[in-house]
Structure 1
Amino acid sequence: MTISFDWLKTLFPTSLPAAEVGALLTGSGLEVESLDELESVPGGLRGVVLGTVLTCERHPDADKLSLTTVSVGDATPRQIVCGAPNVAAGQRVVVALEGALLHPTTGEPFKIKKSKIRGAASEGMICAEDEIGLGQSHAGVMVLDTNLPDGTPAAEYFGLGSDTIIEIGLTPNRADAASHYGVARELRALLNQPAHLPDTSGFASLPLPTSASTIRVMLEDEQACPRYAGLLLDSVKVGPSPEWLQRRLRSIGLSPISNVVDVTNFVLHELGQPLHAFDADQIAGGSIRVKRADAGEKFVTLDGVERTLSVEDLVIADANGAAMALAGVFGGKTSGVGEHTTRVFLESAYFAPAVVRRTSQAHGLKTDASFRFERGTDPYMVLKALHRAALLLVEVAGARVAAPVVDEFPHLIPNTQVRLRLSRVNKLIGQEIGEERIRQILNGLDIKIEQESVGEWLLAVPPYKVDVTREADVIEDILRIYGYNNVALRPHNAASFLSPFPNPDPEVVRQKIADLLSGQGFSEILTNSLTNSHYFEKADAPDATLVRVLNYNSQDLNVLRPTLLTSGLEVVRHNLNRRQRDLKLYEFGKAYHLAENGKYKEKNILALWMTGAASAETWQQATQKSTFHDLAGAVQQALAALGYPQPGTQPTQHPYLAGGLALLLQNQPVVNVGAVSPTLLKRLDVGQPVWYAELDWDWLLKKYKASLIARELPKFPEVRRDLSLVVDQSVTFEQLRTIAQRTEKKLLQAINVFDVYAGDRLETGKKSYSVSFLLQDPTQTLTDQAIDQVMQRLIQQFEKQAGALIRK
């Protein structure tokens, strides 16, 4: 929610700076997210003052330049070279001093510097209106008619005050603060100073016509609309709003539309009461019916979209029952105010929050009005807002009141009665506040004390405080205003030890990895834990480890899944049958099996599937099929995000993978990555290869805490060295990495293979690995001698343990 500090001060006069007001509001629960300066003119004319031209002579070396001396309030006049044709001695002018940053109407900002122009020193600039962003004219310098002294800031002369825009993160329960007056009420309670509603006493003296015909209002659903008020105005001249009104709306991010619409928006943000203006000539039959919509009724809203209504929707209809507006949400296309409107019916109502909320959600319409109505507005602000808007329309649109106010309010909305025990206040807050301070706070919150007995008060809470319905709510409000920081900590609250960090929240860790995978193009799926035993059993050979369902309804759902693999393959099959062939999927789920001791086991698994193209085809590159390394790379990024080091590898033993690797952490096989067995693919009728990865999520979460270690950033650079090693075909990169890590434990930070070759240029049965080594010493810069020693030791061990030949 956006609040203009200048606007706020018209309702709550204060000399406090905006930053201090923001701190007060944040402390009371209206969290101020930002304070931003808003200037009428960019730069605020800082460094620009009024001056008087004392002398004006032709520049000795330029016919079109004048050499002037200008008084700007200092002891010594300034010499300024000016090129304007109208500059003359005796003029009161606008002067930009040295160092001023000017923002012209067109072009880039520029800074005033002391300079020499055609050999003459110039200590500032006499300004035209476009040079300081006040207009378009560049015909000559601005000549002022004023008695203000030289040196007066130009911003003061032009009335260009700056404003501070306060962004408040309004929580759903604080509907009472959803306006400038709502924030002013909060400050009234915090500072024990009065807040002022706009003066609407002048409405009573507005003349009424001798023969008045008004718009009749019929409430057909009093539960959905407990109060509906309206006022008919004529002689309305629709046009642009005056500058002050446009400035107010722009300050909170609204674009001015017309004087009538701008007034309704202004009053909404000032008082928190939404209004709606109808073109009175478009109200058929001269009557308004507040009713439920007919099922299937078609209605075109102001945005030009035709919507199908239901009986859940409350509408403002004409005498024929045709909807003119969705109550509290959005107006209709044909009944709104246009440039030719001369008669306006101004609506101010109180709608039941639940009704507006359902309509807003059903039609996907979120407006400033629905935002307030669905949280709860003040039923007793209805007439005040109507009077305020009427007076403004008289002022800015020449409107006249054409009929008395219509106010349908069949059943008064009572205050909420709450019993407050003073002992309970002190107990929940943790210290004694005192009766007088409690009375003062309640008075500032508009909560009346209706009855008093020993230690207990009966309170009347106004309807606009929708979140205060119980004793605990009242105490919370008292504490907010009293100030959380004013509650003293007791001695026994102190701790003489540092509490250990709690275990990480599993949901937070899970979301972290979900975000990572989704960012890589994976889609999360959620599949059934029940599956078909046929997937896992050979003919006439029941699997003793399957967890069977005793009373299953379908043979296809007769066991709990021992792996997430088949559930995901069903999703792959479903998509392939619909010509969606390029898939990247992941799921967090549980797998189940029956142990040898007869106990049931369940394990949390993170599973990933990849099939089809690794990336979409573009004009820059052709489609490439996904590979083992595409999926393994995604898995390694997930492990790195959890803080785990680069894992070791060994051939996978997963029963449903046709080759692949098991990734080792702390010598434990924690991840299996590989190609799904063709037999299983055929059994599930999946017609293309699928890569699959399965991570032991329970193990990763259990060990995750140990990886939460902050390390100092390295101060010294790392060094890379490459080797090309010719080895037997049977030697794996994992063996080479193990040899390297055992040989150099201190300086070797990472080892990676960036090329593999096996071809005619090598002996039969040989292959070549191109391997990179990253070396780094955390205590000093590595010397060439130290690097060479490390590489010699690595070469010796590769030759000795792996039979490697080093290619030069």
Structure 2
Amino acid sequence: MRISFDWLKTLISIDQPAPAIGALLTASGLEVESLEELEGTPGGLRGVVLGTVLTCERHPDADKLSLTTVDVGDDTPRQIVCGAPNVAAGQRVVVALEGATLHPSSGEPFKIKKSKIRGAASEGMICAEDEIGLGNSHAGIMVLDTDLPNGTPAADYFGLGSDTVFEIGLTPNRADAASHYGVARELRALLGQPCHLPEVSGFTAPTAAPANAIEVVIEDEGAAPRYAGLLLENVQVGASPEWLQRRLRSIGLSPINNVVDVTNFVLHELGQPLHAFDADQIAGNKIRVKRATADEKFVTLDGLERSLKAEDLVITDANGQPLALAGVFGGKTSGVSEGTTRVLLESAYFSPAVVRKTAQTHQLKTDASFRFERGTDPNMVPVALQRAALLLQEVAGATIAAPVVDVYPTPIAPTTVRLRLSRVDRLIGQHIEPARIRQILTDLEIDIAEQSSDEWLLTVPAFKVDVTREADVIEEILRIYGYNNVALKPHNSASYLAQFPNPDPEVTRVKIAALLSGQGYSEILTNSLTNSQYFEKDGEQDASLVRILNYNSIDLNIMRPTLLYSGLETIRHNINRRQRDLKLYEFGKTYHQNENGKYQEKNKLVIYLTGNASGETWQQKSEKAAFHDLAGAVQQVLAALGFGGAASQPVQHPYLAGGLALLVHNQPLAQFGAVSPSVLKQLDVTQPVWYAELDWDGLVRKYKPTLAARELSKFPEVRRDLSLVVDKTVTFDQLQQIARRTEKKLLQSINVFDVYEGPNLGEGKKSYSVSFTLQDFTQTLSEQAIEQTMQKLIGQFEKQAGALIRK
């Protein structure tokens, strides 16, 4: 949501700069995501001021030039050479000072420098309107009629001052702040300054209805509790004045015409959506607010024909012909056009649930539906209508032709909430004086209907749709009081010591994230929504997919069953921008639906590796990422969690072209390998990708942090090597497990340092060159003990793996 600072200042007095106001709003819960400076014209007319021509003489060396002295508010007048034919002494003019950069209506910007023109010094420039980008005329300099002092910035004179726009990340519960007036109300409580609604006291309407007045009938009061309409005549549809266009552009809206612009202006000023109908297109001069007929066809303003649902709320004419989807979108035939002269202004309060369902069903998200879905203020309906009518009188020459029709059969009562002051202190954790609480509630327009020493009965206005409970009121008090004003205790301590056997999952995650980041991996965060077409097989989709019923995009219509595809989208995005060497990891959830229709969430840690594993240097060439680069990262994660030396086994993974699983307590909690070429082709990824998926829930559940320490051995370790010829089906992991089962005391580590395959080994054979590190922590190993250990290992390799020992 965009909020103009200048616009805001028309509703509340603010004497602080925009950054300070942004920080104040953020601290109260209206998070200002960014501040954007807007200039009324390119360059903002910086360095351009008003001046007075004191003297004007012909240039001694040029007949068409004049030599002038100009007072620009300094102690010393400036000498300026001017070529305009209409320059004369006594004129009030626009002067660009030395150093100013001008942005003309045509051509490139240019900078004003001190120069000599035909031998005469010139210390600035007297400007024509095209030279400062305010018009196209170059017939002469601009001559002003003003009493403003010399040196006044030209931007102030022309009303082209810069503006600051707040980009506010509005949370769904803060519908009360979805407008400039809503933000002004918030600042009233934060600054202690009064805010005010735009003046509508000048609104007058006829007391008697004319023959062509519009009748309003609400046929579904639950869906439309309040509906007001006002008939305007003699409307001249055309372009809006510059001030109105400038207001709309400041918040990112494009001006359309004066009627539509006024409805948009009032919506963003007061938070109340309005709609303008061409009154001549309303058959029978009657508005009916009713539910639609199932499968009824309706062409909306965007030119699309839509099939209505029976639960849709529509605005129709006397014949039942739809004119608009209530609170969402208008109809093409009833919209305001250049030929419109009679306008019916609509201002209403619609049920948030009804509007939300219609907007989701028809995939229509508008500024109006955004506000109606969250809840608008039913009491703002007549105020917004009067404000818009006065503006249309001003900008479109409209006349008010009939009394306001305001159908409000059952007024919406304010919410009543019981507040206990002791509960305020308990939830906030700090005592706040009752007088301060009273002031905050008053500034928030929450009235105290009854009160006792500890308990107050409050009346909450209808525009605060999210404040319905005592806890909500306390949150409102805390927001305005200030989270930062709640003091922390000087000492946080406990009266006992305890062991916490279960590790904090978040602390564990941070630990592993630091480990991977230290190895050069970058953490990514991808969307939990993905495309169901990724998971189609022969035109059929997996029944376990968790589908989104009200998705906004076909590309994001399910909850992801795996993190692989969103990660590959990130990899593709980077590869397409020539970032080919990637080491990435992500912690995230996957979502599944079991056979019983129950939903499951599972936490995963995934790792991606593609391109070169290391960069090219003068010492070594770059090397492509390989399986063992990824395996090393996975094993380090497991080792950090206390699962070093995990057993492995081949695994058939749906997205991998062959892979390996690491077992923790006989459970496969890590799977990794090369991503299948078919999956890479599906995602348009043009280079191999290595992928690992770890069951984070299982790892955290089994992880028991321990601190083990022992004295460094005083006795040396010994290394022995063996060359084992085995069948190709035998893995190094199998050999490692055999060795560790055979010798548990002396064997400290085992490592493979060479693998060889060749015709001299025989068909289906390969050779592992393996090193063994032996050490005894109580004595120096004797040659006899070493030999006995190695013979024992050799015997088991021959027996269990069918190994042949190469001499």
Q: 1:3 to 1:323 in 2, by over 3 A?
A: same
Correspondence list, 1:184-223, <5 A? 184-204=184-204, 206-207=205-206, 211-223=210-222
State the match for 1:2 in structure 2.
2
Correspondence list, 1:510-589, <5 A? 515=526
Q: Which amino acid aligns with 2:336?
A: V
Q: Which amino acid aligns with 2:448?
A: I
- Given that residues 535 and 542 in structure 2 are in contact (C-alpha distance below 8 angstroms), is that contact kept between their aligned partners in structure 1? no
Instruction: Tell me, yes or no, if structure 1 residue 49 matches structure 2 residue 49.
Output: yes
Question: 1:177: Cα distance to partner?
Answer: 0.7
Q: Which amino acid aligns with 2:453?
A: V
Question: 1:320: Cα distance to partner?
Answer: 1.4
Question: 1:90: Cα distance to partner?
Answer: 3.9
Q: 1:661 to 1:171 in 2, by over 3 A?
A: closer
State the match for 2:158 in structure 1.
158
Separation of aligned partners in 1, 2:636 and 2:103: 47
Q: How many residues align?
A: 624
Q: Deviations over 1:471-509 (max 9, x none)?
A: 0000000111111122122223489x9xx9965589999
- Given that residues 662 and 670 in structure 1 are in contact (C-alpha distance below 8 angstroms), is that contact kept between their aligned partners in structure 2? no
Q: Which amino acid aligns with 1:654?
A: P
Separation of aligned partners in 1, 2:145 and 2:331: 51
- Given that residues 299 and 332 in structure 2 are in contact (C-alpha distance below 8 angstroms), is that contact kept between their aligned partners in structure 1? yes
Question: 1:54: Cα distance to partner?
Answer: 3.7
State the match for 1:76 in structure 2.
76
State the match for 1:448 in structure 2.
447
State the match for 2:388 in structure 1.
389
TM-score (norm 1): 0.67
State the match for 1:349 in structure 2.
348
Q: 1:317 to 1:77 in 2, by over 3 A?
A: same
Correspondence list, 1:282-681, <5 A? 282-493=281-492, 503-504=505-506, 515=526, 632=627, 654=650
Separation of aligned partners in 1, 2:464 and 2:505: 40
Question: 1:303: Cα distance to partner?
Answer: 0.2
Question: 1:129: Cα distance to partner?
Answer: 1.3
- Given that residues 630 and 690 in structure 2 are in contact (C-alpha distance below 8 angstroms), is that contact kept between their aligned partners in structure 1? no
Question: 1:700: Cα distance to partner?
Answer: 8.6
Q: 1:120 to 1:475 in 2, by over 3 A?
A: same
Separation of aligned partners in 2, 1:513 and 1:33: 21
Report the identity percentage. 68
Separation of aligned partners in 2, 1:114 and 1:140: 22
Correspondence list, 1:21-40, <5 A? 21-40=21-40
Question: 1:208: Cα distance to partner?
Answer: 5.1
- Given that residues 279 and 344 in structure 2 are in contact (C-alpha distance below 8 angstroms), is that contact kept between their aligned partners in structure 1? yes
Q: Which amino acid aligns with 1:330?
A: F
State the match for 1:181 in structure 2.
181
- Given that residues 649 and 661 in structure 2 are in contact (C-alpha distance below 8 angstroms), is that contact kept between their aligned partners in structure 1? no
TM-score (norm 2): 0.67
- Given that residues 651 and 658 in structure 2 are in contact (C-alpha distance below 8 angstroms), is that contact kept between their aligned partners in structure 1? no
- Given that residues 239 and 259 in structure 1 are in contact (C-alpha distance below 8 angstroms), is that contact kept between their aligned partners in structure 2? yes
Q: Deviations over 1:684-710 (max 9, x none)?
A: xxxxxx99976555599899999xxxx
SS of equivalent to 1:104: coil
- Given that residues 654 and 672 in structure 1 are in contact (C-alpha distance below 8 angstroms), is that contact kept between their aligned partners in structure 2? no
Separation of aligned partners in 2, 1:691 and 1:240: 56
- Given that residues 651 and 659 in structure 2 are in contact (C-alpha distance below 8 angstroms), is that contact kept between their aligned partners in structure 1? no
Separation of aligned partners in 2, 1:222 and 1:504: 50
- Given that residues 212 and 402 in structure 1 are in contact (C-alpha distance below 8 angstroms), is that contact kept between their aligned partners in structure 2? no
Separation of aligned partners in 1, 2:347 and 2:18: 32
- Given that residues 643 and 704 in structure 1 are in contact (C-alpha distance below 8 angstroms), is that contact kept between their aligned partners in structure 2? no
Correspondence list, 1:727-746, <5 A? none
Separation of aligned partners in 2, 1:228 and 1:676: 59
State the match for 2:799 in structure 1.
none
Q: Deviations over 1:556-580 (max 9, x none)?
A: xxxxxxxx99xx9xxxxxxxxxxxx
- Given that residues 649 and 662 in structure 2 are in contact (C-alpha distance below 8 angstroms), is that contact kept between their aligned partners in structure 1? no
- Given that residues 350 and 379 in structure 1 are in contact (C-alpha distance below 8 angstroms), is that contact kept between their aligned partners in structure 2? yes
Separation of aligned partners in 2, 1:139 and 1:224: 62
Q: Which amino acid aligns with 1:32?
A: V
State the match for 2:172 in structure 1.
172
- Given that residues 179 and 267 in structure 2 are in contact (C-alpha distance below 8 angstroms), is that contact kept between their aligned partners in structure 1? yes
Q: Deviations over 1:236-276 (max 9, x none)?
A: 11111222222211121111111111111111111111111
SS of equivalent to 1:43: helix
Q: Which amino acid aligns with 1:25?
A: L
Q: Deviations over 1:576-597 (max 9, x none)?
A: xxxxxxxxxx99989xxxxxxx
Question: 1:662: Cα distance to partner?
Answer: 6.5
Separation of aligned partners in 2, 1:517 and 1:25: 30
Return 248-257 or 100-109, whichever deviates more: 100-109
State the match for 1:260 in structure 2.
259
Separation of aligned partners in 1, 2:605 and 2:23: 45
Separation of aligned partners in 2, 1:514 and 1:638: 19
- Given that residues 588 and 607 in structure 1 are in contact (C-alpha distance below 8 angstroms), is that contact kept between their aligned partners in structure 2? no
Q: Which amino acid aligns with 1:378?
A: D
Q: Deviations over 1:2-37 (max 9, x none)?
A: 111121111112222222222221111111112222
- Given that residues 671 and 693 in structure 1 are in contact (C-alpha distance below 8 angstroms), is that contact kept between their aligned partners in structure 2? no
SS of equivalent to 1:431: coil
Q: 1:235 to 1:644 in 2, by over 3 A?
A: farther
Q: 1:105 to 1:455 in 2, by over 3 A?
A: same
Q: Deviations over 1:275-304 (max 9, x none)?
A: 111111111122111111111111110000
Unaligned runs of 5+ in 2: 514-521, 546-560, 566-585, 592-601, 612-623, 677-687, 706-725, 733-757, 759-807
Question: 1:418: Cα distance to partner?
Answer: 0.7
Separation of aligned partners in 1, 2:590 and 2:391: 62
Separation of aligned partners in 2, 1:225 and 1:466: 17
Q: 1:431 to 1:215 in 2, by over 3 A?
A: same
State the match for 1:134 in structure 2.
134
- Given that residues 284 and 319 in structure 2 are in contact (C-alpha distance below 8 angstroms), is that contact kept between their aligned partners in structure 1? yes
- Given that residues 658 and 673 in structure 2 are in contact (C-alpha distance below 8 angstroms), is that contact kept between their aligned partners in structure 1? yes
Question: 1:57: Cα distance to partner?
Answer: 4.4
- Given that residues 627 and 674 in structure 2 are in contact (C-alpha distance below 8 angstroms), is that contact kept between their aligned partners in structure 1? no
- Given that residues 13 and 193 in structure 2 are in contact (C-alpha distance below 8 angstroms), is that contact kept between their aligned partners in structure 1? no
Q: Deviations over 1:105-158 (max 9, x none)?
A: 223322222233444433222222111121112222222333444323222332
Instruction: Tell me, yes or no, if structure 1 residue 100 matches structure 2 residue 104.
Output: no
State the match for 1:557 in structure 2.
none
- Given that residues 452 and 458 in structure 1 are in contact (C-alpha distance below 8 angstroms), is that contact kept between their aligned partners in structure 2? yes
Separation of aligned partners in 2, 1:171 and 1:637: 43
Q: Which amino acid aligns with 1:355?
A: V
Correspondence list, 1:142-153, <5 A? 142-153=142-153
Question: 1:333: Cα distance to partner?
Answer: 0.5
Separation of aligned partners in 1, 2:674 and 2:441: 70
Instruction: Tell me, yes or no, if structure 1 residue 18 matches structure 2 residue 14.
Output: no
- Given that residues 418 and 461 in structure 1 are in contact (C-alpha distance below 8 angstroms), is that contact kept between their aligned partners in structure 2? yes
Separation of aligned partners in 1, 2:29 and 2:452: 31
- Given that residues 266 and 387 in structure 2 are in contact (C-alpha distance below 8 angstroms), is that contact kept between their aligned partners in structure 1? yes
Question: 1:96: Cα distance to partner?
Answer: 1.2
Unaligned runs of 5+ in 1: 531-563, 569-585, 591-602, 616-628, 678-689, 707-729, 736-757, 759-808
State the match for 2:91 in structure 1.
91
- Given that residues 208 and 402 in structure 1 are in contact (C-alpha distance below 8 angstroms), is that contact kept between their aligned partners in structure 2? no
Q: 1:406 to 1:691 in 2, by over 3 A?
A: closer
Q: Which amino acid aligns with 1:14?
A: I
Separation of aligned partners in 1, 2:200 and 2:317: 30
